[in-house]
Amino acid sequence: EDQVTQSPEALRLQEGESSSLNCSYTVSGLRGLFWYRQDPGKGPEFLFTLYSAGEEKEKERLKATLTKKESFLHITAPKPEDSATYLCAVPFQAAGNKLTFGGGTRVLVKP
C-alpha cells in the first residue's frame, strides 16, 4: 500500500535557526513527489515537484531534495513568515494523478 509519512509532526524554531523536515514514502515506481505549504485557514499552495533521486529545487529559504526512499525540505535561516504547515504528497501507484498526502509538519518560527 502506498504510504507517505512526515516527521516531525511539529517543529518550533527560533528565527535564523535552520532545520529540515522529512517525508518518507513507500511507493514503487515513484512518479514525482510534491511539496506544499499550507497557511492556517487556507488551501495548500504548491511549492516544488521532484522526479528523480538526487534532484534538488530551491525557492527563497526553502530547498527540497529527493532520495529513493525520502525527501527533505530544508529551511535555511527561517523567518517568522515561514511559519506554516508543510505537506508532501506522492501519486498513487496505479491511478494517474491522484495524490497520497502525508500528515504534514507544523512549523512555527519565533522572532
Partner 1 sequence: NAGVTQTPKFRILKIGQSMTLQCTQDMNHNYMYWYRQDPGMGLKLIYYSVGAGITDKGEVPNGYNVSRSTTEDFPLRLELAAPSQTSVYFCASTAVGEQYFGPGTRLTVT
Neighbours of 111 (CB within 10 A): 7
Cross-strand partners of 65: 56, 72
Spell out, one character per residue from 72 to 101, where the chain touches partner 1: x when CB under 8 A holds, - when not.
Answer: ---------------x-x------xxxx-x
Spell out, one character per residue from 38 to 57, where the chain touches partner 1: x when CB under 8 A holds, - when not.
Answer: ---xxxxxx--x--------
- In angstroms, the CA 57 to CA 46 distance is 13
- In angstroms, the CA 12 to CA 58 distance is 22
Residue 52 CB, shortest distance to partner 1, in Å, is 14
Closest Cα partner for 45 from 59, 25, 66?
Answer: 59
Given a contact cutoff of 8 angstroms between Cβ atoms, the answer to whether 104 and 11 are in contact is no
Task: Select 15 or 39, whichever has its Cβ closest to partner 1.
Answer: 39
19 binds partner 1 (CB under 8 A): no
29 binds partner 1 (CB under 8 A): no
Residues of this chain that bind partner 1 (CB under 8 A): 4, 6, 32, 34, 36, 41-46, 49, 87, 89, 96-99, 101-104, 106
